[in-house]
Amino acid sequence: MKLELRGITKRFGSLVANDHIDLVVEPGEIHALLGENGAGKSTLMNVLYGLYDPDEGQVLIDDAPVTFAGPGDAMAAGIGMVHQHFMLVPVFTVAENVVLGHEPVRGARMIDLPRARRLVREISDRFGFDVDPDALIENLPVGAQQRVEIIKALSRDANVLILDEPTAVLTPQETDELIGIMRQLKAAGTSIVFITHKLREVRAVADVITVIRRGKVVGSAPPSAPETELASLMVGRSVDLGVTKKPAEPGEPALRVAGLSVIDHAGVLQLDDVTFEVARGEILAVAGVQGNGQTELAGAILGLQKPVAGSVLLDGTELVGAGVRDTLRAGVGYIPEDRSDDGIIASFSVAENLILDVHDRPPFARGISLDPATVEASATQRVDEYDVRLTSVQDPISTLSGGNQQKVVLAREMSRPLRLLIASQPTRGLDVGSIEFVHRRIIAERDVGTPVLLISTELDEVLAVADRILVLYRGRIVGIVPQKTDRDVLGLMLAGVPLEEAQVQAAEHHTALGAADIIATQEERS
Amino acid sequence: MSDNAPAPAAAPVPAVPPSAEPPEPSRGETLLREMLSSSWVVTTLAIVLALVISGVLIAAADSTVQSTATYLFARPSDFFSAAWHAVTSAYVALFQGSILDTGAPTFVRAIKPLTETMTVSVPIILAGLGLGIGFRAGMFNIGAQGQIILGAVFGGYIGFAFDLPVGLHVLLAAIGAAIGGGLWAGIAGFLKARTGANEVIVTIMLNNIAVYLIGYLLTTSAFQRPGSNNPISPPIKATALYPHLLGSQFRLHAGFLVAIAATVFVWWLMDRSTIGFRFRAVGANSKAARTAGISVNTNYIWVMVIAGALAGLAGSAQVLGTEKVLSIDVAASFGFDAITVALLGRSKPLGTFLAGLLFGALRAGGFAMQARTGTPIDIVLVVQSLIVLFIAAPPLVRSVFRLSSGSSRRSTRSVKEAAA
Ligand SMILES: Nc1ncnc2c1ncn2[C@@H]1O[C@H](COP(=O)(O)OP(=O)(O)OP(=O)(O)O)[C@@H](O)[C@H]1O
Ligand SMILES: [Mg+2]
């Protein structure tokens, strides 16, 4: 199926989110859409999927104009979409979610659940997914939820599949799997529109790349184009993809975590006797595959979760048992890993979201009275400083693009004096330019002497920003290693292999990327 | 702000718009959200539509209309003029009974209906304001009825049992009423915070307990009027009464000023104070609120206490102003009307105030309508119920009035929340 968008324009009030966009997706093509946060990618895809009506322009399928009154029409026309944020019913099972909206029925309009289950199994088998059709969505990790979304789109025999930042929440392994699936689909003739901020992925899988900036198509590139070229095309200036930073000058230890153990609601030991220190002026990265205790570690330090054992000393003060509010007051900045769940309140304005944890302190409050003028003025300043793209700070934050929402969280947490910064997946969903910016902010924070705990599943990020790396596996520390550690060794440690053994194994068998790193390090040394 | 955003249309989005909502929105919460997000236009149209449909019912219940219907095809004009007459006279009576009695001989009697409307609306507004706070904080408080009763009990007791100077007495009685309502509601808040007990069930139970409690109290020597066998208290002392606003020929009392002050206060509380900021944060996304250091449980308790205090004031308006005595049915059904009013006013203070006046008018006018035209007062209940029904189903109203939800506005919000 050939898909064409012709002259699509979509306005939100005075803001032109899509400005006469032309796009052709050939059958069996993987078409990557690149663009900064707020460039208008999701908006364009929502137009294509029938969620928004374009103000101007046309959608053509096999050269015939079509109009979609809603996603139902788009689905019927063979278009499937996996949204940037999941659209799953948390209390339904996988099978129920997959068939929601076109439930197979049996007899007197009874949902044919066995058939739904079979459908899920069939698709999972075909693509090598591992999902239990009877699991409740709310009990699944994000990666698995992502797969459910994909199964859902595939179950409707989509000829064109839209994937809006599907890899933002996936682990590297999961991303590899997804790329494999995309290749399989392509081989079967499905066209894919693939949105991502990760240039590496684009280059690995795309056939054609279209770059959008501020609502306009600014160019296209072959996947062989160098990353720096793609990046500068996206952002409109040259971007420094590597992070330049001075070596750390660690001071005395500021955060001491000792023997910390956390048991979750289900009674599972999620964090097992974790001990480490972070010094002033040092970035300790916690690397690990999602779900290996990182969430619990951050939660326990912040006071969201009560540890069963251990202590967390910040500058000599015990934080365990202090409560979230007092911990934040003590000067802890926290960037939560799941922005929409824990980081923002969707219906609140941008200005209100910027004061969530400081709303009752001067200058925003006098006594119990809020000062809207100060709140707004400070919001305007923050938004400028962090280059958040929006129309008004009084708009609900839900009208911002995903990446811009993330910048609001960062702006809130990093613009007060800190004694500890905990950043969980701080660049999730950000474009390359913004990632560069955030990394520089985190390093600047380190350079003024703040201890930083960076929790990231992104090995690139860990290697780029960290001074030391702590590897977590199944809630235990596999090892704490210096930043200059071989990528392959780290990869093995992420899978639970202890340092010495990982070094032996890595020496025997190098992957392409790891080898490249080693050469680079050697060149640097000589 | 969010309330200006177009209501999410029932677009066949593959699944619920997630993420923005707290982890598991129950069906009640979803309904609540739908009601709160409907626009002013829909509200107005819902009222019009409710009046039209009730008009049909009024005509159908009218005996002249019924008899003309038997020869409808012979002389249709009879039928239609009878129907027209029945509906207009009922609504004219409703208007005259609630706003301005155009046929009244004296000015005082002409404006009396309006003052009655205002008087009746006081407890509805006050209790509705409290419920609105709860709704915006994500708590479905059904307990205004019980909270009004407890407010009336506390305020009434202070009002008849003590001798205090003018001014101070009414002030203390009103404060007592607020404390009574606040404590009663606080029980539900405390149980929710401590044990996770569902506030819907707890507040419904507390309503029942309150009804039996006042029934029992009015048989004890502390509360029952000496020498009376009826469950009724001694009259409230004159020093504890809300003063009349327009002289003693009208029932309108200073409770109405309390309602206005409370409306302004609630606006300030919710939109301009740190307390309301936390309430709204907890209601909109309790996980994010918790992560920002806001104690969700503490807020549950405070939301209920403040809502209960407002309902308690509603009780004080009844016992210290309108009824001037504590009796079993001092709360009438104001606590339940207040739920509707809070939803109708979309939990915003001004909206609740106006919706409260509307319900006060329906109540006051309903009596006149029944007396003058024989239209059963139950029609008023029908109107109220229809309004709620239509508010709860904006797509229905839109389709009746062929009001497109705006093609370009279609589902903008629900989509955006999901697909940011
Ligand atoms: N419903 C809406 N109301 C108002 N503005 C909107 C709405 N939806 C999107 N926008 C604006 O349109 C622009 C494009 O947003 P869009 O979500 O398409 O960006 P994006 O390219 O997907 O960015 P990201 O990479 O951050 O997800 C943004 O400036 C956003 O604020
Ligand atoms: Mg997007």
Residue-wise DSSP of B311-322: HHHHHHHIIIII
A452: DSSP letter: E
Instruction: Give the end of a domain, one of A181, A207, A235.
Output: A235
Sign of CA dihedral A475, A479, A484, A488: negative
∠ CA A102-A106-A108, nearest 5°, is: 105
Residues in chain B with CB shorter than 8 Å from the CB of A90 are 18, 23-24
Tokens of A464: 């780029």
B13 has pLDDT over 50: no
Q: Residues B143, B203: contact at Cβ < 8 Å?
A: yes
pLDDT value of position B26: 54
B172 closest CA partner among B186, B184, B182, B157:
B157
Environment class of B172 (CB within 10 Å of its CB; exposed 0-12, middle 13-18, buried 19+):
middle
Q: Verify that A317 and A425 share a domain, yes or no.
A: yes
Q: Residues A471, A493: contact at Cβ < 8 Å?
A: yes
Q: Smallest CA–CA separation between A75 and chain B, in Å?
A: 10
pLDDT value of position B25: 45
Sign of CA dihedral A428, A432, A438, A444: positive
- CA distances for B344 relative to A281, B32, B137, B356, angstroms: 55, 11, 17, 9
Residues 6+ apart with CB under 8 A from A108: none
Residue A429 CA to ligand 2 center (angstroms) comes to 8
Q: Verify that A218 and A307 share a domain, yes or no.
A: no
Please report whether residue A516 resides in a domain.
Answer: yes
Residue nearest to atom 22 of ligand 1 (CA): A42
pLDDT value of position A109: 65
Q: Residues B130, B147: contact at Cβ < 8 Å?
A: yes
DSSP string of A454-473, one letter each residue: EEES-HHHHHHH-SEEEEEE
Residue A195, classed as helix, strand or coil, is strand
Q: Do A53 and B413 touch (CB under 8 A)?
A: no
CA dihedral B1, B357, B139, B331 (to 10 degrees): 170
B2 has pLDDT over 70: no
**ipTM computed for the complex:** 0.84
Domain-wise residue ranges, chain B: 26-98+375-409, 122-362
- Mutation pick from A83, A397, A401 vs chain B, by most beta carbons of B within 10 Å, is A83
Residues in chain A with CB shorter than 8 Å from the CB of B287 are 341-342
Q: Verify that A257 and A341 share a domain, yes or no.
A: yes
pLDDT value of position B150: 98
- Mutation pick from A73, A100, A195, A356 vs chain B, by most beta carbons of B within 10 Å, is A356
Residue-wise pLDDT for A358-380, tens only, equals 999 989 999 999 999 999 999 99
Residues in chain B with CB shorter than 8 Å from the CB of A370 are 272-274, 277
Please report whether residue A185 resides in a domain.
Answer: yes
Closest chain B residue by Cα to residue A400:
B420
Average pLDDT over residues B74-100: 91
A310 has pLDDT over 50: yes
B174 C-beta neighbours (distance < 10 Å), count = 27
pLDDT value of position A368: 94
Q: Smallest CA–CA separation between A100 and chain B, in Å?
A: 7
Residue-wise pLDDT for A428-460, tens only, equals 888 888 888 889 999 999 999 999 999 998 888
Please report whether residue A370 resides in a domain.
Answer: no
Residue A283, classed as helix, strand or coil, is strand
Cis peptide bond upstream of B17, omega within 30: no
A3 closest CA partner among A31, A32, A25:
A25
Residues in chain B with CB shorter than 8 Å from the CB of A51 are 11, 13, 411, 415, 419
Determine which helix (DSSP H) or strand (DSSP E) holds A18, and give its type and residue range: strand A15-25
Residue-wise pLDDT for A9-28, tens only, equals 999 988 899 999 999 999 99
pLDDT value of position A470: 96
- CA distances for A294 relative to A453, A468, A509, angstroms: 11, 16, 29
Residue nearest to atom 24 of ligand 1 (CA): A37
- A400 CB near ligand 1 (under 6 Å): yes
End-to-end CA distance of chain B: 17
How many angstroms separate the CA atoms of A192 and A183, rounded?
10
- CA distances for B211 relative to A141, B121, B218, angstroms: 48, 22, 11
- A20 CB near ligand 1 (under 6 Å): no
Percent of chain B topping pLDDT 90: 66
Q: Verify that A340 and A406 share a domain, yes or no.
A: yes
Q: Verify that A171 and A308 share a domain, yes or no.
A: no
pLDDT value of position B1: 37
Please report whether residue A240 resides in a domain.
Answer: no
Ligand 1 pocket: which of A400, A405, A406 to mutate (most atoms within 8 A of CB): A400
Give the ligand whose atoms come closest to the C-alpha of residue A383.
1
Among B15, B284, B290, select the one facing A304 at the smallest CB separation.
B290
Considering only CA atoms, give the Rg of chain A.
24
Residue A229 touches partner B, C-beta closer than 8 Å: no
Lowest mean pLDDT among A61-70, A154-163, A295-304, B398-407: B398-407
Tokens of A240: 């420094």
Q: Do B5 and A396 touch (CB under 8 A)?
A: yes
pLDDT value of position A516: 47
pLDDT value of position B38: 55
Q: Which long-range contacts (CB under 8 A, 24 or more apart) does B203-208 make?
A: B203/B141, B203/B142, B203/B143, B203/B146, B204/B142, B204/B143, B206/B143, B206/B146, B206/B147, B207/B142, B207/B143, B207/B145, B207/B146, B207/B335, B208/B146
Measured in degrees and rounded to the nearest 5, phi and psi for residue B19 equal 50, -55
Task: State how many domains chain A has.
Answer: 2
Among A328, A349, A400, select the one facing B1 at the smallest CB separation.
A349
For residue B348, the one-letter residue type is K
A142 has pLDDT over 80: no
Residues 6+ apart with CB under 8 A from A261: A269, A271, A272, A273, A274, A307, A308, A309, A310
End-to-end CA distance of chain A: 54
Count of CB pairs separated by less than 8 Å, A with B: 157
pLDDT value of position B367: 87
- The residue whose two tokens read 């007899």 is A107
**pTM of the predicted model, to two decimals?**
0.86
As a residue count, chain A comes to: 526
pLDDT tier for residue A415 given thresholds of 50, 70 and 90: confident
Q: Do B419 and A324 touch (CB under 8 A)?
A: no
CA dihedral B149, B154, B158, B160 (to 10 degrees): 30
- Mutation pick from A12, A46, A48, A51 vs chain B, by most beta carbons of B within 10 Å, is A51
Q: Residues A280, A314: contact at Cβ < 8 Å?
A: no
- A389 CB near ligand 1 (under 6 Å): yes
- A485 CB near ligand 1 (under 6 Å): no
Closest chain B residue by Cα to residue A373:
B272
Q: Verify that A172 and A289 share a domain, yes or no.
A: no
What is the CATH number for A273?
3.40.50.300
Residue A231 CA to ligand 1 center (angstroms) comes to 20
Q: Do A71 and B14 touch (CB under 8 A)?
A: yes
pLDDT value of position B29: 56
pLDDT tier for residue B416 given thresholds of 50, 70 and 90: very low
Among A12, A164, A347, select the one facing B284 at the smallest CB separation.
A347
Q: Do A325 and B294 touch (CB under 8 A)?
A: yes
How many angstroms separate the CA atoms of B247 and B112, rounded?
12
pLDDT value of position B268: 97
- The domain in which residue A116 lies consists of 3-235
Residue-wise pLDDT for B31-65, tens only, equals 555 555 557 777 888 888 899 999 999 998 888 88
Q: Do A347 and B2 touch (CB under 8 A)?
A: yes
For residue B249, the one-letter residue type is Q
pLDDT tier for residue B413 given thresholds of 50, 70 and 90: very low
Among A100, A324, A365, select the one facing B291 at the smallest CB separation.
A324
Instruction: Give the end of a domain, one of A182, A205, A235.
Output: A235
Q: Verify that A27 and A111 share a domain, yes or no.
A: yes
